């Protein structure tokens, strides 16, 4: 039979067979003063007890995991009276060694902005920007390849998106969050590789959902159960994806795509509305 008559019957090959991890540098803040003493998101209930030593043990396990995977972890000294400082992701956004500082929405966290910027200044980072508009660092700014996805709706002021685009010289795409339980972009969307993400569509406005479909038609979509256990507050090195262990559906989807999901237990920090990604600021030097 001539070749031209054959009809291809084989299923399309999987998009990628193997995944490669790249070494990362992270900034983390040990939760030595962690507590829930105020409530600025629906997860925080100051009447519920917090076990400080358990929080520190769970955080230490995450840090050790990063190091075992070959990543470098830098730390910043936690400050008294700043119980949320453990959530280093909120401290800044760093791309190409340039540091875009954070300016917090709530007065309880405002001192964290200068504390993180001092860390960068003391370590010789030259290009450090004190922001004009409210933005909560990588809580709302997620870097995908050479593009930045930017959350708004609860914390980061949409005017900050233009400020970040001007500072980094990279395209910034605004996305609006609608559900107060998913108040930061990194609670509803995770970056998996240079061009892949996973997200929870219900956390976004219809317009933002359609932007995400347009940009990432093959994205993994999280179930309400995955989202509710903070499964999207995940960190990928291109191969390993560290995420809350109870995000069972997401772990399956990740395996199907050739990633290696690694379940982490950070339940004590979840009492403040944070997990893996919130504890991790990526230093893209
Ligand atoms: N209690 C903190 C807040 O409400 C949690 C921050 C979590 N960080 C994050 N990157 N989502 O601001």
Per-residue 3-state assignment (H helix, E strand, C coil) for 156-224: CCHHHHHHHHHHHCCCEEEEEECCHHHCCHHHCEEECCCCCEEECHHHECHHHHHHHHHHCCCCEECCH
The rounded distance, in Å, linking the Cα atoms of 98 and 129 is 8
Quick one: pLDDT at residue 17? 56
What is the 8-class DSSP label of residue 44?
-
Report residues whose beta carbon is within 6 angstroms of any ligand 1 atom: 40-41, 44, 84, 87, 89-90, 139, 184, 186-187, 272-274, 278
Whether 240 and 280 have beta carbons less than 8 Å apart is answered as no
Instruction: Measure 167 CA to ligand 1 centroid, in angstroms.
Output: 24
Residue 3 lies in a domain: no
Residue 19 lies in a domain: no
Domain residue limits at 253: 25-282
Global pTM exceeds 0.85: yes
Residue 6 lies in a domain: no
Domain count, the chain: 1
Could you tell me the CATH number of the domain that includes residue 254? 3.75.10.10
Catalytic residue IDs: 184, 278
Residue 16 lies in a domain: no
At residue 273's C-alpha, the angle toward residues 40 and 21, to 5°, is 135
Instruction: Measure 223 CA to ligand 1 centroid, in angstroms.
Output: 21
Q: Are strands 240-244 and 235-236 parallel, antiparallel or unpaired?
A: antiparallel
Q: How far is CA 200 from CA 205, 220, 223, 244, 258, in A?
A: 11, 9, 7, 15, 20
Mean pLDDT of the chain: 95
Residue 42 lies in a domain: yes
Query: Is the C-alpha dihedral spanning 247, 179, 135, 141 positive or negative?
Result: positive
Quick one: pLDDT at residue 18? 87
From 84, 89, 183, the mutation candidate for ligand 1 (largest count of ligand atoms within 8 A of CB) is 84
Residue 157 lies in a domain: yes
Instruction: Measure 274 CA to ligand 1 centroid, in angstroms.
Output: 5
Quick one: pLDDT at residue 11? 46
Residue 173 lies in a domain: yes
CA-nearest residue, atom 7 of ligand 1: 274
Residue 13 lies in a domain: no
Instruction: Measure 183 CA to ligand 1 centroid, in angstroms.
Output: 8
Reading the chain (285 residues) residue by residue, the pLDDT tens digits are 444 444 444 444 444 558 999 999 999 999 999 999 999 999 999 999 999 999 999 999 999 999 999 999 999 999 999 999 999 999 999 999 999 999 999 999 999 999 999 999 999 999 999 999 999 999 999 999 999 999 999 999 999 999 999 999 999 999 999 999 999 999 999 999 999 999 999 999 999 999 999 999 999 999 999 999 999 999 999 999 999 999 999 999 999 999 999 999 999 999 999 999 999 999 999
Quick one: pLDDT at residue 35? 97
The rounded distance, in Å, linking the Cα atoms of 92 and 79 is 17
Q: Are strands 260-264 and 197-199 parallel, antiparallel or unpaired?
A: unpaired
Q: Are strands 172-176 and 147-152 parallel, antiparallel or unpaired?
A: parallel
What is the 8-class DSSP label of residue 135?
B
CA-nearest residue, atom 9 of ligand 1: 278
| Token code pair at residue 214 | 């347009």
């Amino acid at each position: 039979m001539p070749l031209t008559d054959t009809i291809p019957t084989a299923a399309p090959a999987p998009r990628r067979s193997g995944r490669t991890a790249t070494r990362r540098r992270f900034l983390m803040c040990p939760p030595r003063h962690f507590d829930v003493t105020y409530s600025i998101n629906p997860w925080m209930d100051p009447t519920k007890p917090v076990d400080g030593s358990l929080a520190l043990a769970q955080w230490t396990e995450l840090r050790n995991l990063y190091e075992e995977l070959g990543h470098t972890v830098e730390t910043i000294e936690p400050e008294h009276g700043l119980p949320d400082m453990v959530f280093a992701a909120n401290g800044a956004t760093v791309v190409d060694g340039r540091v875009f500082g954070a300016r917090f929405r709530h007065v309880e966290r405002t001192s964290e902005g200068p504390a993180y910027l001092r860390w960068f200044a003391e370590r010789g980072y030259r290009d450090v920007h004190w922001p004009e508009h409210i933005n909560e660092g990588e809580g709302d700014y997620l870097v995908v390849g050479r593009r930045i996805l930017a959350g708004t709706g609860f914390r980061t002021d949409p005017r900050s998106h233009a400020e970040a685009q001007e500072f980094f010289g990279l395209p910034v795409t605004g996305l609006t969050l609608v559900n107060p339980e998913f108040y930061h972009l990194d609670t509803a969307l995770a970056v998996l590789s240079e061009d892949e993400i996973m997200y929870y569509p219900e956390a976004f406005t219809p317009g933002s959902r359609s932007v995400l479909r347009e940009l990432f038609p093959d994205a993994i979509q999280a179930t309400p159960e995955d989202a509710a256990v903070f499964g999207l507050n995940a960190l990928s090195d291109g191969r390993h994806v560290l995420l809350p262990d109870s995000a069972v559906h997401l772990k399956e989807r990740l395996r199907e795509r050739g990633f290696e999901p690694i379940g982490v237990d950070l339940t004590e920090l979840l009492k403040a509305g944070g997990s893996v990604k919130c504890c991790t600021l990526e230093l893209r030097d």
